[in-house]
């Protein structure tokens, strides 16, 4: 008999019919002899609705009160699901984050879990109950209600699984797994059976918004096997787990893209020690995160420095950079919002040579110009003109044998 934590997101509990369908699924798992702890999100749209209410009263609602308000969304679903389970003959009990004593720090709206006292949950399980826990919320040392940041129910589920030493944490969502690329762009993309925590983290941070990033970090740290599956259709989903040999043998797990970045260049800066700091220091001071950075010295002993930021930060970064350029006597500032970042991701990169050149060749064959390149141990990213998004992702997907029926996923 195993202990399974199942997490259902907002769309999966978006109506009474769907809550009943979740109850049926939970009961099916329970009937196979497993203990089940269920973590639920608020019904879809509910957290946004609550946020709007607060914003109707204040441009900057007090963070503590916002958490008191937002946590009610999940409290509704735990009660409804427990009612549905009991109505169907399955004994069940609901707990809020505070009742489970999911202890967090006091960073309202973005709290981090410090500790979980699972005693009450364990006791209910031994009594044969299904335990339904509110996602996204906890309690700090002073007894204040906290929330974990948008999408935080994923993290609650993984943390519960870690605390209870569950055999698996299943995340039920509206997609049936993690794909080798966005299937809306690459029809030949296929569902991955398995992927490592590290690869999933790269995929998640690059815009495959299947899971909250922090939940993947948590799962990796505590070695919680995490499975992403559809709550609407049956299937094995994708298992996110420790790296294994098969993953190392594969060249690439997937192709990710990100259209949220913009590029800025400061041109003709005198080349001397300290310039990178003088340029990027004020950007960092403004709390703007920089992703890729490229610097190169030209024949005239001046240098150009190019970097990318989130598109939302572009205007602010552009202003700061223009001021810096004036101060430093640089020739000017250029910017481009119409870029996209394409990345290939895979732990197989560690043990295979020639991956980068294969990537560049595939893009060259399509006449796609590469503007920036960055590499890490398990990822190579390039910045290209956004008009090449589809073409580029498809070219890379097929160059690495990921198209259905041709590669390891076929």
Catalog residues that contact Mg ion under the rule CB under 5 A.
Answer: 9, 151
User: With binding defined as CB under 6 A, does residue 14 bind ligand ASP?
Assistant: no
47 binds ligand ASP (CB under 6 A): yes
Smaller CB separation from ligand ASP, 9 or 348: 9
Neighbours of 297 (CB within 10 A): 11
Cα–Cα distance between 406 and 150 in angstroms, integer?
A: 38
Residues 119 to 178: which contact ligand ASP by CB under 6 A?
Answer: 135-136, 150-153
8 A C-beta contact, residue 383 and residue 171 = no
- Least distance to Mg ion, CB of residue 9, Å: 4
Picked from ligand ASP, Mg ion, none, the partner binding residue 240 (CB below 5 to 8 A depending on kind) is none
Residue with tokens 């893009």: 363
Buried b (16+ CB within 10 A) or exposed e, 201-212: bbbbebebebbb
- Least Å from the CB of residue 398 to Mg ion: 31
Question: Is the CB of 137 or the CB of 343 nearer to ligand ASP?
Answer: 137
CB of 142 to ligand ASP, least distance (A): 23
Q: Contact 55/120 with Cβ under 8 angstroms?
A: no
Beta carbon of residue 132, minimum distance to ligand ASP (angstroms, whole number): 15
What does 306 interact with, of ligand ASP, Mg ion, none (CB < 5 to 8 A by kind)?
none
Question: Of 38, 67, 73, 171, which one interacts with ligand ASP (CB under 6 A)?
Answer: 73
Q: From ligand ASP, Mg ion, none, which one binds at residue 136 (CB under 5 to 8 Å depending on kind)?
A: ligand ASP
Residue (77 or 190) nearer to ligand ASP, CB: 77
Token pair 């295979």 is found at 352
Written in H, E and C, the secondary structure of 149-197 is CCCCHHHHHHHHHHHCCCCEEEEEECCCCCECCCCCCCCCCCECCEEEH
In this structure, what are the phi and psi dihedrals at residue 104, rounded to the nearest 5 degrees? -125, 175
For Mg ion, which residue has the nearest CB?
Answer: 9
Q: Report in angstroms how near the CB of residue 315 gets to ligand ASP at its nearest.
A: 27
d(CA 410, CA 407): 5
What is the smallest separation between the CB atom of 10 and Mg ion, expressed in angstroms?
6
Cβ atoms of 134 and 98 within 8 Å: the answer is: no
Q: How far apart are CA 179 and CA 193, in angstroms?
A: 9
Chain residues that interact with ligand ASP, rule: CB under 6 A:
9-10, 41-42, 47, 73, 135-136, 150-153
């Amino acid at each position: 008999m195993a202990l399974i934590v199942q997490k259902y997101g907002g769309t999966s509990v978006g109506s009474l019919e769907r809550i009943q369908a979740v109850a049926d699924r939970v009961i099916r798992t329970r009937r196979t002899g497993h203990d089940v702890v269920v973590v639920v999100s608020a019904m879809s749209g509910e957290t946004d609705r609550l946020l709007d209410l607060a914003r109707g009263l204040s441009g900057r609602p007090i963070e503590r009160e916002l958490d008191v308000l937002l946590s009610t969304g999940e409290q509704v679903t735990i009660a409804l699901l427990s009612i549905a389970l009991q109505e169907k003959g399955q004994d069940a009990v609901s707990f809020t984050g505070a009742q489970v004593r999911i202890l967090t720090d006091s960073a309202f709206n973005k709290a981090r879990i410090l500790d979980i006292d699972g005693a009450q949950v364990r006791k209910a399980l031994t009594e044969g109950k299904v335990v339904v826990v509110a996602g996204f919320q906890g309690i700090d040392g002073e007894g204040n209600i906290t929330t974990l940041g948008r999408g935080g129910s994923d993290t609650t589920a993984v943390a519960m699984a870690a605390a209870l030493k569950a055999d698996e944490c299943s995340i039920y969502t509206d997609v049936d797994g993690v794909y080798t690329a966005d299937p809306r762009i690459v029809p030949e993309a296929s569902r991955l059976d398995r992927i490592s925590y590290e690869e999933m983290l790269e995929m998640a941070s690059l815009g495959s918004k299947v899971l909250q990033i922090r939940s993947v970090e948590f799962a990796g740290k505590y070695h919680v096997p995490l499975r992403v599956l559809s709550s609407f259709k049956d299937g094995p989903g994708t298992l996110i787990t420790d790296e294994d040999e098969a993953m190392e043998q594969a060249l690439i797990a997937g192709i990710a893209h990100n259209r949220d970045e913009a590029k800025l260049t400061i041109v003709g800066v005198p080349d001397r020690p300290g310039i990178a700091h003088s340029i990027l220091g004020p950007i960092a001071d403004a709390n703007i995160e920089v992703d890729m950075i490229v610097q190169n010295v030209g024949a005239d002993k001046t240098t150009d420095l190019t970097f990318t930021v989130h598109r939302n930060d572009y205007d602010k970064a552009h202003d700061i950079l223009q001021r810096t350029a004036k101060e430093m006597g640089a020739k000017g500032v250029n910017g481009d919002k119409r870029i996209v970042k394409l990345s290939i991701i895979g732990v197989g990169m560690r043990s295979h040579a020639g991956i980068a050149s294969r990537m560049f060749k595939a893009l060259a064959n399509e006449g796609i110009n590469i503007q920036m390149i960055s590499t890490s141990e398990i990822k190579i990213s390039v910045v290209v003109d956004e008009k090449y998004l589809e073409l580029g992702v498809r070219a890379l997907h097929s160059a690495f044998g990921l198209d259905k029926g041709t590669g390891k996923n076929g």
